[in-house]
Amino acid sequence: MPLIIKKYHIDILHSPVNVLPILSKKTNVITIHDISFVTLAKGHKTKDMYQILGTSWSVRKAEKIIATSNETIKEIKEAYKIPDKKIIKIYDGVDKKYTILKKSNIEELRKKYNLPEKYILSISTLEPRKNYIRQIRAFKRAKEKNKLGRKWGYVIVGGKGWKYESIINEIITTSGVRYLGFVEDEECVELYNYAKLFLYCSLKEGFGLPILEAMACGCPVITSKKSSMTEIAGNAAIKVNPYKIKEIEKAISLLAKNEKKRRKCIEQGLTWAKKFSWEATAKKTINAYKIAYAQKNEEDL
C-alpha cells in the first residue's frame, strides 16, 4: 500500500475497514462500523488479532475516525480512550434501488423459490450474532399458538458464516421455514416488497442496513432494542429484547394480526428511510477529508 500511495501521489488514505497500513504517512481516515470483535468476542470465530491490534493502532494513527452510529462512537471511546473531536458520525445510506416496486413479479419469484403465500423475511449471514435460532423459535411459537395461519412461512436469506450448522438444523427441523441461501440484491428488493414483515433481532450491529432497506421497500420491521439498531430504526419499527423469544413472538403476532399497526409501521418506515442517502454520506465524508487534511498539514507545519 505505501508503494501505491507514492506511485499515484495520494494525499488522503481512507480505509473503510478499520485498519491502516503501518507505513502510511499521508492524511489517514478510517471508518469503523463496529468493534464487535472486542465487545462481543464470543460472536466471532477466533480472536481476530489482525482486527484487534490493527484497529487499536489505527484509531491512534488516523487524523479522523468515521463511525456509523452513536453506539459505535461510544464503544470506540470506551475501548480506546479516543477524544470526541477525533470522531465524526456519518450514517450509511440506502441505495435507491430499495423502493416499492410498481410492477409485481411475485408469482415468478414464488415459483422460483417455492415461497409461501405470506412470509416473514430475514436477510443476513447465518452466524450466532444474528440470533436466528431465537427468531425461528419465535416463529414456531407463533404458529403453534395459532397467531399465524397455515399460509404463513419464514424465509431466510444469507450466506453461511461460522457456527451455521446449528442454525441450519433449526431450519430443517422447523415446519414452514425456507432457507434460500445467498440471493442477489435485485431479488432481495423483490423479497422485501412481498414480505409481510422483516425480522432483524440481531444481538450486535454497528449499523444494521437491512432495517432501512426493508423500510424503503414498504416492509414493516421488528428489530432489537439493543446495540445500534434502536438508533437506526428510530420510532419506525417494533423493538424487542433479542434474548427473549416470547417478546419476538408477540411482535410477530401483532404485525400479523393487526393490519392497522402494520400499515402504520410501513408509513413510518418509508418516511424514516428517506433520511438516509448515500449522497448525504458522500458529502459528509468529503467534509471529513477536508478537516483531516487541514489538521494533518497544520501538525506538519
Range 236-255 average pLDDT = 97
The average pLDDT across 94-123 equals 94
How sure is the predictor about 46, in pLDDT bands with cuts at 50, 70 and 90? low
Residue-level pLDDT at 278: 96
Tell me how many helices (H) and strands (E) the chain has.
13, 10
What does the pLDDT look like over 256-272, one tens digit per residue?
A: 999 999 999 999 999 99
The Cβ of residue 29 has, within 10 Å, a number of other Cβ atoms equal to: 24
Which runs of consecutive H residues, i.e. helices, occur in 217-258?
Answer: 229-233, 245-257
Q: Which fold has domain 2-92+278-300?
A: Rossmann fold (3.40.50)
* Per-residue pLDDT reduced to its tens digit, 13-25: 999 988 888 777 7
Domain with CATH 3.40.50.2000 in the chain: 2-92+278-300, 106-273
Q: Which residue has the higher pLDDT, 15 or 47?
A: 15
Residues 106-273, CATH architecture: 3-Layer(aba) Sandwich (3.40)
- Residue 17: its pLDDT value, please? 85
Strongest mean pLDDT among 17-31, 33-47, 129-143: 129-143
Q: Is the pLDDT of residue 224 over 90?
A: yes
Q: Which residue has the cell 456509523?
A: 68
**Nearest partner of 210 among 118, 125, 88, judged by Cα:** 125
